[in-house]
Structure formats: structure tokens, C-alpha cells
Amino acid sequence: MKNIPRVDLNDFLSHEPARKNAFVASLGQAFENIGFVILKGHYLSKDKTDLLYKEIKAFFDLSEAQKHAYEIPGLAGQRGYTSFGKESAKGRTEGDLKEFWHFGQYRKKENGPVYPNNVMVDELPIFNTIGEEIFQTLEKTGQAVLQAIALHLNLAEDYFDEYVAYGNSILRAIHYPPIKTEPKNAVRAAAHGDINLITLLMGAQGKGLQVLTKEGEWIDAIAEEGELIINMGDMMARLTNNKLKSTQHQVVNPPKELWGTSRYSVPFFMHPSGDMSLNCLEDCVSETHPKGYEDSTAGEFLEERLRELGLKK
């Protein structure tokens, strides 16, 4: 597969069974074959997207001292600011060439999971409010995508709803700063798989993001304006016993003539609540495709991966 398939969420949301079924089939096939799709017809508006990027750029333009004031000890980078080079891909010692900000879950459920409070930026009040709006809009989009995935897996359409309604999702605003000196074995984001159920990515309208095909070839993943790129995460791969692929992907450094430019992207990492079972679904296990993972919960798996990424001791 040389290209990332494209789908339109309006087909799934329509009241026409043929369109909805075709969307489920196309989405499922793409996630089985390459683990990525490009999605249009989502709930994000251009005005809100533009405002988010304006505020993100304003935050990363703050002084180092101002930004570091929002790097909160003890949160394992799950809220607020994480400074340049602190995160590395699993199995690598070189830090990625990026800094980032995390917005987290805003909903609170009585007797439900307790998450850290979001960090408020005093200098940029609109940054705080637009972050919350985009978080909730992408969460709504992701829920619809998960409903389609559930149907593809012969589960009830609302199978994931209860887990993601108060899930431990993260909206990450990433800044890849200009490259000033020859990187020593480091790239903007080394090859990795995501931890979560699914990722919804804004800001992949230019070259940089690459996806590894089953044939071992790196291909560019480039969205058009108004499109999101969506990929499977490791939690979904575990749940489906690799029926749905959590594909390795990377963000490569630009050509040397473009080293002086920044890159911004905004992935929404859709996580369930920590008590969700990631035990392989029975329909995804057979004699020819035996169970490939130990039983675990989403919370246990997240803790393990945060330690591997160097974000938690």
C-alpha cells in the first residue's frame, strides 16, 4: 500500500445504511493493512483550528523561563510543558528534537478516575480556552471513529463509549524548533508506535511524517487542509491481537535548506480509562493466530510505557 486511504466521517454519520457500512469496511480495511487513514468530515472548524495554532505559536514564543514555569514536577509530563529533548522513543537514548504541551481530560465523574488538573497559562488566557474546546471536539470525533471500529470488530457500536467518555486522553501541542546544528543521531520524532487506542493528528499538511508499510518502506503521510490523520495505537493492537495495526511512524528532519523553520503539529492521543481491559478479544484469537499478549489493563500498560519513554521513573 503506497498511499494512506481517505475516508469521510459524514458517510458514517449519515442515516444511509449503505454509506455507513461502506465507511466501516473502508476504515477497517485500512487499519488492518497499514494502521492509518486520512479523515475529512470531522467536527473541527477552520476558525477554531487557526485560533489554536495562533495560540500554540504564541506559547512556544514565550521565553524559556516563562515556559519552564509550567513544567510541573511529579506529573510525568502528563499536563503542562515538557522541555526540548526530554522525550525519547522506546529503545532510544537520544531525545527527540521537540518541546510540547499537554492538555488533559476536563470531565470529572463522581467516583470515577482522578486525573491531574490542567495547567493554566497566565500569559495566554485564550490558549487555555481554545485548548479545552479542541480537546472536546477531537474527543467527539474520536468517539465516532471508535464506534465504526467497534462495528468492524463485530462488537456493539457503543463498546468503547463508556471507556473514553472519561478517558485519560491527551491533546499534545508540539513544536519542532529550527535545527541550528547538525543533529547527532537525533530526529524530530524517532520511529515509534503510539501508546493509546487511536491518535487523531492535526497539522500534517507538509512533508515530515512518515509511515512504515508492511513491505518495510517509509512513505509520506500528508493531509490536505481540513483533514486529520488517524492511526491505531498499541492499546488497540493488544486488544485486537494485532488484527488492527499499530504502525511505526516517524517525523524526519527537513532538508538542510529548511532547518531554519519550525514545525507544529497537534496529535490527540485517545486513551480509555485505566480500568479498561486490554485482554485480546476472543474473536481475534484462533489456532492460526494465537494470543500474542499477556492480559493487562490500559492503566497498567500506560505506566509501563511512560517509564520506557523516560517520562516516569
Confidence check: pLDDT of 6 > 60: yes
Cell numbers for 79: 499536563
Cell numbers 519513554: residue:
309
**Within a domain: residue 53?**
yes
User: Which 3 state secondary structure label does DSSP give 310?
Assistant: coil
**Within a domain: residue 134?**
yes
Are 230 and 39 contacting, i.e. CB atoms less than 8 angstroms apart?
yes
pLDDT at 205: 62
**Within a domain: residue 126?**
yes
**Within a domain: residue 313?**
no
User: Which 3 state secondary structure label does DSSP give 29?
Assistant: helix
What's the pLDDT tens digit per position in 264-274? 889 999 999 99
As a whole number, mean pLDDT of residues 267-285 equals: 95
Give whichever of 72-81, 90-99, 159-168, 185-194 has the largest mean pLDDT.
159-168
Enclosing domain of residue 59: 6-308
Look at residues 51, 36, 226 and name the one whose alpha carbon lies nearest to residue 126.
Answer: 51
Are 238 and 275 contacting, i.e. CB atoms less than 8 angstroms apart?
no
**Within a domain: residue 1?**
no
Confidence check: pLDDT of 209 > 80: yes
pLDDT at 110: 84
**What is the spatial distance between Cα 68 and Cα 304, in angstroms, rounded to a whole number?**
26
Query: Does pTM top 0.85 for this prediction?
Result: yes
As a whole number, mean pLDDT of residues 215-235 equals: 92
Cell numbers for 256: 538542510
Are 142 and 200 contacting, i.e. CB atoms less than 8 angstroms apart?
yes
**Within a domain: residue 55?**
yes
Please indicate whether residue 238 or residue 304 has the higher confidence score (pLDDT): 238
Spell out the residues 6+ positions from residue 16 whose beta carbon is closer than 8 angstroms to its own: none
* DSSP state, residue 75: S
Domain count, the chain: 1
**Average pLDDT value for the chain:** 89
pLDDT at 58: 97
* DSSP state, residue 311: S
What CATH number does residue 268 fall under? 2.60.120.330
**Within a domain: residue 284?**
yes
Lowest mean pLDDT among 21-30, 52-61, 123-132, 248-257: 248-257
A 10 A CB-CB count for 294 gives 11
* Backbone phi, psi, residue 25, to 5°: -65, -45
**Within a domain: residue 43?**
yes
